[in-house]
Chains A and B, each alone.
Chain A
């Protein structure tokens, strides 16, 4: 009973997050300007991080938590560096 509910909910959640990642990739490819592409990349890594958390619930292991934490840290640094580059034309002045 409860395993059926959980499996259905996890499958629905994973497919929704995968569609969200596909939409972010679509915006990243067609985005008319550079800031649209950076915003698509930001959304993409947030959704990938959430997808890894749902993988952790599905398998019952905690290794996925560490992977998603690393993705969150590196994605934040990448977006800040790209925004700085768009603003000034260079990352380290």
Chain B
């Protein structure tokens, strides 16, 4: 790897390094938020930092690196970026809906008053039927 990198231009190295450090820092901030927030509905927002700009920055760094080092356009890493960007909202929405369903079914105090009263009214409607 070293003989391949020694003729690497300095501006490209700085660009790749900046994108790498930016992406991994955002992924780390997202993981810290995942570990430190108190309720599930706060926690589910934190990892999206890692999947939006974290994945974007690291994929961008990889694309710049391989494009410069192989001196041809290499952008197949963009597949990862598109896939992560498309699938993350789907998974998090399904997970949030499952958590809300479970919390409502158990009448969990994590939910606010409004959500609990709404759940109570639907339960009442079910009982009336």
Contacts and interface: CB of A to CB of B under 8 A. Distances in A.
Given A2-B12, A35-B95, 13 more contacts: A9-B18, A12-B20, A14-B24, A24-B34, A33-B99, A39-B44, A42-B95, A46-B51, A54-B24, A56-B62, A60-B5, A65-B62, A76-B91
A17 B51 CA distance: 12
Contacts of A46: 27, 47, 50-51, 54-55, 84, 88
B102 A69 contact: no
A10 B65 CA distance: 12
A52 to B, nearest CB: 10
B35 A27 contact: yes
Contacts of A9: 16-18, 20-21
Interface of B: 1-2, 4-6, 8-10, 12-14, 16-18, 20-21, 23-25, 27-28, 30-32, 34-35, 40, 43-44, 47, 50-51, 54-55, 58-59, 61-62, 65-66, 69, 76-77, 79-80, 83-84, 87-88, 90-92, 94-95, 97-99, 101-102
A86 B98 contact: yes
Interface of A: 1-3, 5-6, 8-10, 12-14, 16-17, 19-21, 23-24, 26-27, 33, 35-36, 38-40, 42-43, 46-47, 49-50, 53-54, 56-60, 62, 65, 68-69, 72-73, 76, 79-80, 83-84, 86-87
